[in-house]
Structures are given as structure tokens and as C-alpha cells.
Amino acid sequence: MTVAIVVIVVVLLAAVLLFANARRRDRDAAIGSLSRETRDRDRGEASIEQVLGDTDAEKVATGREVERAAALERRRVVVPATVSAPKPPAVPVDDETYGVSRRQFLNRGIVTMMSVSLGGFGLSMLAFLWPSLSGGFGTKIRAGKVDDILNQIADKREPFYVAEGRFYINPYPKDSVPKAKQVGAYSALLPGYEAGVVALYQKCVHLGCRVPWCKTSQWFECPCHGSQYNRVGEKKGGPAPRGLDRFIVSIDNGTVVVDTSPSGLIVGPPIGTNTTGQEAEGPHCIGRAE
């Protein structure tokens, strides 16, 4: 969050500095500074006349005087005339003025493009770092009605998978709840267990592969290194250091709400935990339990 605020402040400051710099250059240019070539040409003409001995050469205006006179002339044209003042004569736009307009156009174009780019970058950073408030992994997810979920699991003989939350829901036998309390299950998990469900994080606790469901054994079996977990995520075999991690579940008007935020994630039960006594119900998909 702090990083996002710093990035936005830096982007805004850069845009303001660029805009102010361009405005200053535009203003200076609008006064009508003569280009270096023009000033050199003026100096060159004066020196030739001096070489030829022309007595009027000293009366030739310098480049700076011409520049100042042009600026004053323009200002007279731009300032609105008072009622009593005579209307100033129209001044034709010379090549130099056209050049200034081109510079103004380029300056403003560059500033606009840079401002848009920096603004887009800042907004994308903000969107990336801003916490998701509209649902999805990291928030509380309403998975569906308890009864509907349990019926679907029974019909398909596979867990209820919620992809946006990266978790599986499986039945938790209510007669196993006292045993879960005995083995020290986190009290935050008990409301879900008592409602008959457990929400298991799909990530293998060994090295992080997504653990698929094996329909024949009715266990979770990891294809990466062969870790196996029973229906409620208790470790049964392989190199996993514990059971599957799980999320806190609450029931809101019969709807299962799963908290996938970091504070809602509970580490899996230690090796040896077996509250349900469920053994493999058929052939394994990956290796064999040790």
C-alpha cells in the first residue's frame, strides 16, 4: 500500500514538473526570442556596413533591439484596445511566429504523451497493488448452500471445487467432530466441521503443486511427488510434512462462506492425525500410500 502511494506521488510530481517546464518554455518562446541564426545574421550585416564605412551603420538596430520591439508590437496587438484607443493595425504572421507555434505544438504534444503514459503506469500500479474488494481469492467467498453442495458431492463422488477461491469443499463427518477437538483442531475450524463441511486449500503442502482428486481411491493424490491425503485432507502418504491447509468456514443463512484471506488460512493437521478413519476406497491414481 505504501509503495502504491509513493509511486502515485512520484508520477504526479513528474507530470507537474514537465507541464510547468513546458509552460515556461512556451511563454519564453511567445515573447519572440530570435533564433541563433537570425542573431548571427544581424551581427554579420552590421559588421559589413561598418567595414564599408557607412556612417548610418551605427543606427542599425541590434538583434536584441529588434527582438524587444517585436515583443512590444505583439503585446500591443494582443492586449484588447480600450474604447478610446485607436485600433492597432493588423500584424501579418511572420515565419518566426509560425516556428514558435510548431514548437508549442511539439512541446504540448510531448507533455501530453508523457503525462498520459505516466498516469497510465501509475493507475496500473495502483490497480495491481490495491486489495481485491470485489471477491476472488483473498476475500470471503460465498460458495453456495450447504445442502446443495453436499448433494452435489454425493452425486458426483468428488469434492465441490471453487476455482476462484482455489479450494475444495468436502463433507466432514459430524461424528468425527469430537475427535477433531481431541486432537487439537483450531477452534476457528469447528463451526465448519459442525456444519458438515471442510474447505481444503488446493496447494500441496510439500512443494506447492495443485493436488487433484483421485476418484477411485477417494483421496487427494499429488502427481508431483506422490503425497496423499484422505477426504478431509489428513496426510496418508508421500513426502508432505502435514495434512492439507484449510480455510475457516462460516455458515450464513445456510450458505457456506469461506475466508480465503491470509487470516482465514489454517495450517493442516500434523502427520498421524486421522479423525475420520477413511481408508482408500479403490486403486490409487499416484503410487501407493506408505
**Residues lying near ligand FES in the complex (CB under 6 A):** 204, 206-209, 222, 224-227, 238-240
What minimum distance in Å lies between the beta carbon of 174 and ligand FES? 30
Question: What is the grid cell recorded at 196?
Answer: 458438515
Element spanning 289, H or E: none
Residue identified by cell 508549442 is 104
Beta strand 167-171 pairing with 197-201: antiparallel
Q: What does the CA dihedral 183, 186, 187, 188 come to, rounded to 10 degrees? A: -150
What minimum distance in Å lies between the beta carbon of 240 and ligand FES? 6
The nearer residue to ligand FES, 193 or 213, going by C-beta atoms, is: 213
The nearer residue to ligand FES, 22 or 242, going by C-beta atoms, is: 242
Q: Which residues contact 29 (CB under 8 A, 6 or more apart)?
A: 100, 103, 104
What minimum distance in Å lies between the beta carbon of 116 and ligand FES? 45
What minimum distance in Å lies between the beta carbon of 158 and ligand FES? 19
List, as one string, the DSSP characters of 218-271: TEEE-TTT--EE-TT--EEESS-SBSPPEEEEEEETTEEEEE-SGGGEEPPPBT
Amino acid in position 259: D
What minimum distance in Å lies between the beta carbon of 281 and ligand FES? 21
The nearer residue to ligand FES, 119 or 223, going by C-beta atoms, is: 223
The nearer residue to ligand FES, 14 or 224, going by C-beta atoms, is: 224
How are the residues of the chain apportioned to helix, strand and coil, as percentages rounded to the nearest 5? 45, 15, 35
The nearer residue to ligand FES, 102 or 210, going by C-beta atoms, is: 210
What minimum distance in Å lies between the beta carbon of 166 and ligand FES? 15
Q: What is the Cα 183 distance to its own chain's centre? A: 42
The nearer residue to ligand FES, 192 or 242, going by C-beta atoms, is: 242
**b vs e for 232-249, b when ≥16 Cβ sit within 10 Å of the residue's Cβ?**
bbbbbbbebebbbbbbbb
What minimum distance in Å lies between the beta carbon of 226 and ligand FES? 6
CA distance 88 to 68: 18
The nearer residue to ligand FES, 150 or 205, going by C-beta atoms, is: 205
The three-state secondary structure class of 279 is: coil
Decide if 249 contacts 257 (C-beta within 8 A): yes
